[in-house]
Amino acid sequence: MYRQLADKTYEFECDGLCGAKNRTDQKSFRQALNVARLEGWEHRKSPSDSWLNLCPQCAEQSDSTAELAGIHFFRREIDDD
């Protein structure tokens, strides 16, 4: 999710499991998107035509094959200790 704040800058919120936020100082949406990408965020279009904004950690853990089916699951390490 993204939103334009009161000062006209943009903030992206991770659509993964963590809810991380990336507040840019950009007043242009395109520039904010470019800054977020430079910081490792991924922006993916889902099969339902909505956009997913993922922080670097959630982007790494996401399962893109499940996304193709319209399901948003994330891989998680499980310790067997």
The pLDDT tens digits of the residues spanning 13-36 come to: 998 878 899 999 999 999 999 999
What's residue 80's pLDDT?
62
What pLDDT score was predicted for residue 23? 95
CA 45, CA 73: separation in Å to the nearest integer?
15
In the chain, the largest separation of any two C-alpha atoms, in whole Å, equals 49
> Which parts of the chain have pLDDT scores under 50?
68-69
Tokens 């965020």 correspond to 41
Query: Do residues 12 and 2 touch, judged by C-beta distance below 8 A?
Result: yes
The token pair at 74 is 């994330």
Q: Supply the pLDDT for residue 55.
A: 93
pLDDT at 46: 75
Q: Are 46 and 61 in contact (CB under 8 A)?
A: no
Average pLDDT value over all residues in the chain: 82
Model-level pTM? 0.71
